[in-house]
Structure 1
Amino acid sequence: MGLDIAVMIASIYLGISVRFIESDSNLPSSLGPILPKASLFALVMMLIMTAFGMYSGEWMAGARAVAIRMIASFALGFVVMSQLFYLFPDILLGRGAFLFSLLFALIGVTLTRIAFVKWSNLDAFKKRVLVLGSGSRAAKVDHLIKSMSSARSLQIVGYLPLQGSHHYVEHSRVLHDTASLSEIVTKYNIHEIVIAVRDRRDGGLPVGELLECKLRGINIMELSSFFERENGQLQLESLNASWIILSEGFKQGLARDTVKRIFDLVVSLVIMLVSLPAMALTALAVYLESGAPVLYRQERVGQHGKPFTIMKFRSMRCDAEQDGKPRWAGKDDDRTTRVGQFIRRVRLDELPQLFNVFMGHMSFVGPRPERPYFVGELIRQIPYYNSRHTVKPGITGWAQVRYAYGASVEDAVEKLQYDLYYVKNHTLFLDMMVLFQTVQVVLWGKGR
Structure 2
Amino acid sequence: MSSSKFRDLSAGSKSLIIIEQILFVSALFLALYFNEWLGLVEHNNIPNGLLLLYAIIFALINQLSSLALGLYNSKLRESFRGIFRRMLMCVAVGFFAATLINPFYGAYHLPIEVIAIASLFSVVLVSSFRYLTFKIDFFGFGKRRILVVGAGQRASIIEKRMRRDVDRQDFTVHGFIVMEGDSEEGIREETRITLDGSLVSYALEHEIDEIVVASDERRNNLPVDELFACKIRGIEITEILDFIERETGQIAVNLIYPSWVIYSNGFASNNHLRNTLDWVFNAFMALGLLLVTWPIMLLTVIIIKLTEGMHVPVFYRQERVGLDGEPFNIIKFRSMRLDAEKNGAQMASENDNRITKVGNYLRKYRIDELPQIYNVLRGDMGFVGPRPERPEFVQQLIKNIPYYNERHNVKPGLTGWAQLKYPYGATENDSLEKLKYDLYYIKHRSFLLDLLILIRTVEVVLFGKGR
- TM-score with structure 1 setting the length: 0.91
Residues 1:8 and 1:354: Cα distance change in structure 2 (over 3 Å) = same
Q: Structure 2 residue aligned with 1:181, among 176, 199, 215?
A: 199
Note the 1:159-308 alignment, pairs <5 A.
Answer: 159-163=176-180, 165=182, 166=184, 168-170=186-188, 173-201=191-219, 203-252=220-269, 254-258=272-276, 260-288=278-306, 289-290=308-309, 291-308=311-328
Report if aligned partners of 1:60, 1:117 keep a CA contact under 8 Å in 2.
Answer: no
- CA shift, 1:359, in A, is 1.1
| Count of aligned pairs between the two proteins | 444
2:10 corresponding residue in structure 1: none
Q: Which residue of 2 aligns with 1:57?
A: 74
Q: Is the 8 A contact 2:180 2:217 kept in 1?
A: no
Task: Sort the Cα spacing of 1:259 and 1:230 in 2 relative to 1 into closer, same or farther, 3 A.
Answer: farther
Matched, 1:109 2:123: no
Relative to 1, partners in 2 of residues 1:150 and 1:96: Cα closer, same or farther, differing over 3 Å?
A: farther
What amino acid is aligned across from residue 268 of structure 1 in structure 2?
A
Alignment map for 1:26-425 (pairs within 5 Å): 28-29=44-45, 33-59=50-76, 61-85=78-102, 92-117=109-134, 120=137, 124-147=141-164, 149=166, 151-163=168-180, 165=182, 166=184, 168-170=186-188, 173-201=191-219, 203-252=220-269, 254-258=272-276, 260-288=278-306, 289-290=308-309, 291-323=311-343, 325-425=344-444
User: 5+ unaligned residues in a row in structure 2: which ranges?
Assistant: 1-16
Report the secondary structure of 2:37's partner residue.
Answer: coil
SS where residue 155 of structure 2 aligns? helix
Q: Kindly tell me: are residues 406 and 172 of structure 1, through their superposed partners in 2, closer, same or farther at Cα, counting changes over 3 Å?
A: closer
The 1:188/1:30 distance shift into structure 2, 3 A limit, reads: closer
Shift of 1:196: 1.2
CA-to-aligned-CA distance 1:248-270 (integer Å, 9 cap, x gap): 00113543313544432232221
Partners of 2:264 and 2:51 lie apart in 1 by: 46
Write the distance in 2 (CA, Å) between the matches of 1:183 and 1:29. Answer: 64
Counterpart of 2:335 in structure 1: which amino acid?
S
Measured after TM superposition, the shift of residue 421 of structure 1 is: 0.3
Q: Residues 245 and 118 (structure 1 numbering): CA distance in 2 closer, same or farther, change over 3 Å?
A: farther
* Alignment check: 8 A CA contact 1:402 1:447 kept: no
Indicate if the aligned counterparts of 1:299 and 1:310 stay in contact, CA closer than 8 A. Answer: yes
Root-mean-square deviation over aligned CA pairs: 2.5
Q: 1:101 to 1:168 in 2, by over 3 A?
A: same
**Structure-2 change in CA distance of 1:220 and 1:28 (3 Å):** same
Distance 2:245 2:145 in 1: 18
The secondary structure found in structure 2 opposite 1:146 is: coil
Partner of 2:14: none
**CA offset at residue 315 of structure 1?**
1.2
Decide whether aligned partners of structure 1 residues 173 and 55 sit closer, same or farther in structure 2, where only a CA change above 3 A counts: same
| Letter of the 2:74 counterpart | G
Letter in 1 for 2:33: S
Distance 2:318 2:120 in 1: 50
Per-residue deviation, 1:99: 2.9
Q: CA deviation at 1:7?
A: 1.9
Measured in 2, the distance between the counterparts of 1:122 and 1:77 equals 26
Offset at 1:334? 2.1
Give the conservation status (yes or no) of the 8 Å contact 1:294–1:314: yes
Deviations 1:42-65 (CA, angstroms, capped at 9, x unpaired): 232122211211011233642222
CA gap of 1:143–1:92, structure 2 versus 1, over 3 A, is: farther
